[in-house]
C-alpha cells in the first residue's frame, strides 16, 4: 500500500512529461510549417548547397595538396638533379592532357607513387625505392598511371565527393536531431509511466545524440561506399589509359606485382606475425580505395593476351578478282 502513492506519482510525472514533449513536438512541427511556408525554391536551396560544397571542396583540395607534401616530407627534384626522370616524365606528359607536373621524392611506408593535383598541373610524388625496384619500362607505366589520374581530375572529384558527403552528413544530423529528441522524450516519459525512473537527463541527451549520429553514419556509410566504388573504377580507368599511352600492359602488370611483393613481408619463421591482407573481408573490399591487386594484374595480362592473339591472327584472304 505504501508503494501505491509513489506509483501514482510516477505515473503522473510520466504523463506530465509526455504532455510536455507532445507540446514541444507540436510547437516544433508548427515552426517547421512556418519555415516551410517561407522556404526558398528547391532549385535555390540546391544551388546554395552546391556552391558551398564546391567552395569548401576547392579550398580543401588546394590546401590538401600542399599539406600532403609537407606531411610526406617530400623533396622536389629539379631537372638538374634527376634529368632522366624528367625526360621520361616529359615524354609521357605530352600524351596526356595535363599541365606542368613537378616531381617529388618521399619515403612511404611501402613503395608507391602518388598524384596530387589535376589536369591543370600538379605534383607527382614517388617513393625513392621505386627507382631501384622497377625497370625503366615498369617505371614508365607507373608514371603514366599517375598522369592518367591527373588527366581525369580524380583527386579533385574525390575531394568534392567527400566534401559533399560531410556537408550532407551535417545537414542530415541537424534534420534528424529534433526527431531524436522527441522520440527520446517520449521514451523517457513512458519510463515514468511504467514505474521505472529513467536515466539521468545528461545521459539521456547523450543517448539521443548517439542514436541520431548512428542513423547519420548509416547513411554516410552508403555514400562512402559509393565513393569508394568510384575510386576503384578510376583505378581501372587509369590502368587502361596508361596502357594506351605506353602500349605495354605487361610492364604495368610487372610493376604492380613488384610493388605488391615489396609491400608484403616474405614468408618465414615470423611470417605469422605480419598482416598480409589475404584475409580481407567483404567490408574491407567494400571500403577499399583500390581494387585487389590480383584483379588489376589479371586484367592487364588478359589485355596483353588479347592483343597478342590479334597480332598472331593471319590476314584475311582477299576475294578473287
Check whether 148 has a pLDDT greater than 80.
yes
- Measured distance CA(236)–CA(290) in Å, rounded: 9
303 close to 263: Cβ distance less than 8 angstroms: no
Residues whose CB falls within 8 Å of the CB of residue 228, separated by 6 or more in sequence, listed in order: 286, 287, 288, 289
What residue spans define the domains of the chain? 1-71+136-264+282-311
Query: pLDDT tens digits for 237-284?
Result: 999 999 999 999 999 999 999 998 887 655 444 444 443 444 456 767
Per-chain mean pLDDT for the chain: 77
Pairing of strands 121-127, 101-106: parallel
195: left (phi over 0), alpha (psi -120 to 50) or beta: left
- Measured distance CA(139)–CA(89) in Å, rounded: 10
Contacts 24+ apart (CB under 8 A), 221-227: 223/165, 223/168, 224/165, 224/287, 225/286, 225/287, 227/158, 227/161, 227/162, 227/165
Query: pLDDT tens digits for 184-235?
Result: 776 777 776 676 766 666 665 666 667 767 777 787 788 888 888 888 889 9
Cell of 270: 615470423
pLDDT value at residue 50: 74
| Res. 136 pLDDT band, cuts 50 70 90 | very high
Query: pLDDT tens digits for 62-107?
Result: 666 777 788 888 889 888 888 998 998 889 988 898 888 889 998 8
- What are the helix (H) ranges across the chain? 3-37, 42-71, 83-93, 130-133, 136-151, 154-193, 201-246, 249-263, 282-286, 293-312
Count the neighbouring beta carbons within 10 Å of the beta carbon of residue 21.
Answer: 19
Amino acid at each position: 500500500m505504501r508503494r501505491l502513492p509513489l506509483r501514482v506519482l510516477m505515473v503522473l510525472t510520466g504523463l506530465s512529461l509526455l504532455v510536455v514533449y507532445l507540446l514541444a513536438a507540436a510547437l516544433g512541427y508548427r515552426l517547421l510549417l512556418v519555415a516551410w511556408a517561407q522556404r526558398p525554391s528547391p532549385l535555390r536551396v540546391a544551388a546554395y548547397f552546391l556552391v558551398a560544397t564546391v567552395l569548401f571542396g576547392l579550398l580543401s583540395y588546394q590546401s590538401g595538396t600542399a599539406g600532403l607534401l609537407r606531411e610526406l616530407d617530400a623533396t622536389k627534384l629539379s631537372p638538374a638533379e634527376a634529368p632522366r626522370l624528367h625526360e621520361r616524365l616529359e615524354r609521357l606528359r605530352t600524351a596526356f592532357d595535363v599541365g606542368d607536373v613537378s616531381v617529388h621524392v618521399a619515403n612511404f611506408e611501402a613503395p608507391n607513387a602518388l598524384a596530387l593535383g589535376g589536369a591543370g598541373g600538379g605534383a607527382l610524388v614517388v617513393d625513392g625505392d621505386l627507382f631501384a625496384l622497377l625497370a625503366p619500362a615498369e617505371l614508365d607505366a607507373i608514371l603514366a598511371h599517375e598522369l592518367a589520374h591527373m588527366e581525369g581530375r580524380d583527386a579533385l572529384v574525390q575531394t568534392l565527393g567527400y566534401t559533399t558527403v560531410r556537408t550532407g552528413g551535417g545537414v542530415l544530423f541537424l534534420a534528424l536531431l529534433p526527431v531524436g529528441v522527441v522520440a527520446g522524450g517520449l521514451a523517457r516519459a513512458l519510463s515514468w509511466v511504467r514505474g521505472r525512473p529513467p536515466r539521468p537527463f545528461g545521459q539521456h541527451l547523450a543517448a539521443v545524440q548517439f542514436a541520431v549520429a548512428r542513423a547519420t553514419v548509416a547513411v554516410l556509410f552508403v555514400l562512402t561506399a559509393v565513393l569508394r566504388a568510384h575510386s576503384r573504377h578510376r583505378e581501372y580507368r587509369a590502368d587502361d589509359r596508361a596502357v594506351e599511352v605506353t602500349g605495354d600492359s605487361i610492364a604495368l602488370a610487372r610493376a604492380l606485382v613488384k610493388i605488391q611483393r615489396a609491400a608484403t613481408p616474405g614468408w618465414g619463421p615470423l611470417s605469422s606475425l605480419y598482416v598480409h591482407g589475404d584475409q580481407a573481408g567483404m567490408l574491407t573490399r567494400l571500403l577499399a580505395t583500390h581494387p585487389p591487386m590480383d584483379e588489376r594484374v589479371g586484367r592487364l595480362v588478359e589485355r596483353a593476351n588479347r592483343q597478342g592473339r590479334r597480332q598472331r591472327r593471319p590476314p584475311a584472304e582477299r576475294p578473287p578478282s
